Homo-oligomer: A and B are copies of this chain.
Amino acid sequence: MTTPIRPDTDAALECLKERMIRHVFLVACGGSLSIMLPGKYFLDRFCDLPSDALNADEFVYRSPRRLGQDALVVLCSQTGTTRETVRAAEHARAAGALVVAMSLDTASPLAAAADAVLRYEAPYTTGVPIDPAESNYAVLYLFLAGLIAHLGGSGPLPALQASLPQLGRVIEAAKARLGPQLEPYAARLKDKRAIYTLASGPVYGAAYSYAICVLMEMQWYASQAIHADEFFHGPFEVVDRDTAAIVMIGLDETRPLAERARDFLMRFGTPDTVLVLDAKTLDLAGLHPDVAPYLVPLIFFDVLWSFAYRLADLRGQPMLSGRRYMKKIADY
């Protein structure tokens, strides 16, 4: 019935055949939650199924009424050991929901708590390059596109399948183009106390993970991912000529929101410390226009990941050893 995608995706979609799904919960913590935000945007745009993206503990304790046998719960944890996320999978299972887990490790506790497991790859902890067609974003979108295809209608699956093999090349080209442009910002931002990230639509997830998992977690900046329109309803009052910000402008429907934030920051901040990433300046050849907007956050995050290493060098605070609590103190 559905087009073959990947063996694990196909197996997960096979589970849908016994179910009538009427709600999707996208559940994770931190960086893994950040990909669920564009996942929800993807569902909002391409299908009629309601969904929520929730932190794993919030999901467990809130326990929405719509969680039941007709719910699909998609969870993600890199190691598959994040306790809140494992608990959320168990909670969803106990409620009778169909549980699909994403993890690097198909033998992890999260995988064990799920009905089906989707394996992905990540370069961030090992440093070994991966094919981004195997990344968390790609694997999530493939599954959601498969779900949309399963529900009937055309949907973005063919466009996504045609685009993903090109993604590695596109990201390398983006790094090559933007790397030199970003370089002077490293020296200008390194001693700032606060660096804000701004984005909208599916790009907001990348702004969120960069603020909390990189700038805060690894480099101890004060930070916040500010939604590009919410910016004008409070946060923009902090802006002065010293403000450091990273504005991520995507290709999706909400692009004008990020452009407006950029224009404000260029006028009342200073271009020297307002770093703008605009997907329109990139060579995205090979990415189908229907799905390119959803791949932009991954492209931006990869470019900014390299930039974080430049900040780390200049600050003398290595990226991973920047952690003082996570996995170093019992219970955290």
| Binary contact track A41-59/B, C-beta < 8 Å → 1, others 0 | 1001111101010011110
Number of interface residues of A (CB under 8 A): 65
Write out, one digit per residue, whether chain A residues 236-260 have a CB within 8 A of any chain B CB (1) or not (0): 1111000000000000011111000
B50 touches A62 (CB 8 A): no
Chain B positions within 8 Å of A46 at CB level: 65
Contact A254 B212 (CB under 8 A): no
Which residues of the partner chain B approach A48 to less than 8 Å between Cβ atoms?
65-66
What are the 8 closest A-B residue pairs judged by CB atoms, nearest first?
A30-B233, A50-B50, A212-B234, A224-B224, A44-B64, A217-B234, A57-B229, A194-B222
Chain B residues lying within 8 Å of A220, measured Cβ to Cβ, are: 237-238
Report the nearest B residue to A224, measured CB to CB. Answer: B224
9 A-B pairs whose Cβ atoms sit less than 8 Å apart in the complex: A23-B50, A44-B52, A50-B52, A58-B257, A84-B229, A194-B194, A212-B233, A221-B238, A236-B332
CA distance A70 to B230 in the complex (A): 27
Cross-chain contact of A253 among B45, B61, B255 (Cβ < 8 A):
B61
Closest chain B CB from A69 CB (angstroms): 13
A305 interfacial contact with B, CB 8 Å: no
Is A1 part of the contact surface with B, judged by Cβ < 8 Å?
A: no
B-facing mask of A186-203, CB < 8 A → 1, else 0? 000000011000001100
Are B45 and A254 in touch, CB under 8 angstroms? no
Beyond known contacts A29-B230, A217-B235: 4 more, CB 8 A cutoff = A212-B233, A213-B233, A217-B237, A237-B325
Interface status of A324 (Cβ within 8 A of chain B) = yes
Q: Does A223 count as interface, using CB distance less than 8 angstroms? A: yes
Which chain B residues lie closer than 8 Å to A11 at the CB level?
none
Q: Is B253 a contact of A63 with CB atoms below 8 Å?
A: yes
Interchain CB contact under 8 A, A235 and B216:
yes
Residue of B nearest to A255 (CB): B61
- Given A237-B326, A254-B58, A332-B236, A212-B230 contact (CB < 8 Å): yes
In the complex, chain B residues whose CB is within 8 Å of the CB of A150: none
Closest CB in chain B relative to A97 CB, distance in Å: 15
Residues 104-125 of chain A, each 1 if its beta carbon lies under 8 Å from chain B, else 0 = 0000000000000000000000
Minimum distance in angstroms from A158 CB to a CB of chain B: 19
Which residues of B are found within 8 Å of A44, using beta-carbon distances? Answer: 52, 62, 64-66
> B57, A233: Cβ atoms under 8 Å?
no
CB–CB B222/A234 < 8 A: no
Residue in B58, B200, B218, B222 whose CB lies within 8 Å of A193: B222
